[in-house]
Amino acid sequence: MTDRARITVFDTTLRDGEQSPGCSMNHQEKLRLAHQLDRLGVDVIEAGFPIASDGDFEAVKAVSEVIRRPVIAALARACEPDIERAWEALRDAARPRIHVFLATSDIHLQYKLRITRDECLAQARESVRYAKSLCNDVEFSPEDATRTEPEFLCRVLQTVVDAGATTLNIPDTVGYSMPSEFGELISAIRARVTGLENVTISAHCHNDLGLAVANALAAIVAGARQVECTINGIGERAGNASLEEIVMAMRVRPDRYPFETGVVGEQLFPASQLLSEITGVPVQPNKAITGRNAFAHEAGIHQDGVLKNPLTYEIMTPKSVGVPDSRLVLGKHSGRHALNMRCEQLGYQFDRRALDDIYRRFVRLADKIKHVEDHHLLELIRDTHKPAGSATPLIEPLQGAVAASANTPAQESPKAFPNPAPASSFGMSVPLAQEHHPEQEDYLWGV
């Protein structure tokens, strides 16, 4: 069996991700998330941009002092003040990295930097040399690489490799590239730039056309051995490549992507939820891997299949990414199998005739209110089967009460039915005996 190539996971949630509008983090929040990224098993944490503010400098410094296993990187423009500031913040890191970037596309050189190509080459060379004099691990990124003329891009990369860069990061800064095109660019760099034996090729993809993950995977296939990404795919504009999607794509499809990472899959969902709690930005419900609906099923055919064997509709287990379990959403598309199972979970078992009766009423109700919650279902059971003749309780209802009978006074409190267990926003029930605290739910699920 051939050993699978190891991909370095470079997490830039604390730097590029933080640049997403509304996602800025203070010193303590960055440190808290850095601890989770360490538990997640990422190889590199880009902790910030130290020259940007005193707060960012202190955050990078704190992460460098406390988080010891992964490489800690700090971003710097290709100039001495930025590089010096980055090194001051990283000085106490066990494994520091200075990440230098300089735009290389003609549109950036002309309109943003207002320098020539020759001046760009000289600035790239001198900045990497200076960073290398301070830190042995130096990464260089040619900003807007995918809109840079390929021959000039390779000249810049050759220049910084000769100056001592240990990682060449190729950013699709504005999310412009197509997967096949990006893969071809990585292959061309590997073919044209010399001295790459001890240099890592990296990919940093943005999601403006929704192709960030596809581009990152194409780069890996073409020979990139580091991928830069963020939790939940947050970042500038439409965001970055999503860490959880890249990692799980390789795990679910090793036949196409025979690579491995050091990421602990069970920590993906906790990392996603912690980020949402810190930033106050919820994950979109249909987000792959970590969205609320990622393991939710409403269609009756799907529910029936999942109840028989989850692999019928789930290509990974919820627990493999840290989600406690799948959930079945009761709505108008649900079938009898899912309805019957939920009734049993609530403490009632029906024969086929009684279940058919309840199912007909359930569908009418679901047409009106979309999602049928436990308390709706319990009311429906009570109204449909007041004598409880065909309902067999599987468990004793709370307070020792029994299902309502025909002799029960109309004004009596409906304690005959189990109080529904509070459910999280991901749909899992909390044990009945557990007291519910809204602030705990917010912490767990990032609502």
If 0-12 CB within 10 Å is exposed, 13-18 middle and 19+ buried, where does residue 223 land?
middle
Collapse the DSSP code of 373 into the 3-class scheme (helix H, G, I; strand E, B; otherwise coil) and give the result. coil
User: Which pTM was predicted?
Assistant: 0.74
* H-only helix segments in 253-330: 268-279, 300-308
DSSP state of 425: T
Average pLDDT along the chain, 447 residues, taken 10 residues at a time: 85 94 89 95 98 95 98 98 98 98 98 97 98 98 98 98 98 98 98 98 98 98 98 95 97 96 93 89 87 61 56 70 63 69 66 78 71 70 57 36 36 34 35 34 26
Q: Which of 173, 255, 188, 263 is nearest to 219 (CA)?
A: 188
Measured distance CA(275)–CA(446) in Å, rounded: 8
DSSP state of 240: B
CB burial readout 134-168, b (16+ within 10 A) else e: bbebbbbbbbbbbbbeeebbbbbbbbbbebbbbbb
Partners of 99 in beta bridges: 75, 139
The pLDDT score that the predictor gives to residue 385 is 65
Measured distance CA(247)–CA(26) in Å, rounded: 28
Phi-psi region of 144 (alpha: psi -120 to 50; beta: other; left: phi over 0): left
* H-only helix segments in 164-255: 179-192, 212-221, 243-252
Partners of 203 in beta bridges: 170, 227
Strands 259-260 and 226-229, how do they pair? unpaired
The pLDDT score that the predictor gives to residue 437 is 38
The pLDDT score that the predictor gives to residue 93 is 98
**Secondary structure percentages of the chain, helix, strand, coil, to 5:** 45, 15, 40
